Amino acid sequence: MERLQKVIANAGIASRRKAEELIKEGRVTVNGATVTELGTKVTNKDIIKVDGKQIEKEKKVYYLLNKPRGIITSVTDDKERKTVVDLIPCHERIYPVGRLDYDTTGVLLLTNDGEFANILMHPNDKVEKVYIVKVKGIIKGDAINTIKNGVTVDGISYERAKVKLRKTDYKTNTSMLTVTIHEGRNHEVKKMFESVGFPVLKLRREREFIFDLKGLKSGEYRKLTPKEVAIVYSLEKGKKNE
């Protein structure tokens, strides 16, 4: 079962907030009865009408994209730049699960299933995000240990991270590392390394939870399997049983 306003929003009728207004104004019916109470839950079998017109429920879809550099992680862009949604032609109104910066590449999930997205975006120690990071400078143990223990930047505390040095290149004065985090805050990896004096030159998300880039070139995508979707939902079930 899902909240009525969420079903209306997912059908593309209105935003979640506008859907709530439609309900309160008495413009929504469920199985012929006017509903004005927010939080009303409905099933796929219920007939929902807005202003007398029955809504069509979208089929839920799930995609994994290998996001290229120079693409906006958004549904639309006011500067008319290409977005990740433009890379996946489909009839449903999909949106990215979380975000990757304009210049960051790698694993990005897109869906029209809000519950699925919320499970992955909510802080959870089981949902690892693994990045390959290239930084300017030859990074040493002290800086790595500082990031491992957690840093505070501009008053924001970032949790401990797993950090592994992959290689250093004295000719180009750069270092490559693997970083594993769970939070995924805005610019988190970049801010962590900048805080210890090593600006990020390149950043690629190699894995998010069970999803990796295997078989996907830059800009390519694939549909998730029903099993993969079920595994994500099992995280929520496991949380409720704790």
Decide if 15 contacts 9 (C-beta within 8 A).
yes
What phi and psi, each to the nearest 5 degrees, are found at residue 146?
-60, -45
Q: One of 101, 103, 113, 154 is an active-site residue; which one?
A: 101
Token representation of residue 92: 């449903």
- What are the Cα distances from residue 167, in Å, to 131, 134, 177, 178, 188? 15, 10, 7, 10, 22
Active site residue 101: yes
- What are the Cα distances from residue 238, in Å, to 107, 211, 227, 235? 24, 19, 16, 5
Residues identified as active-site: 101
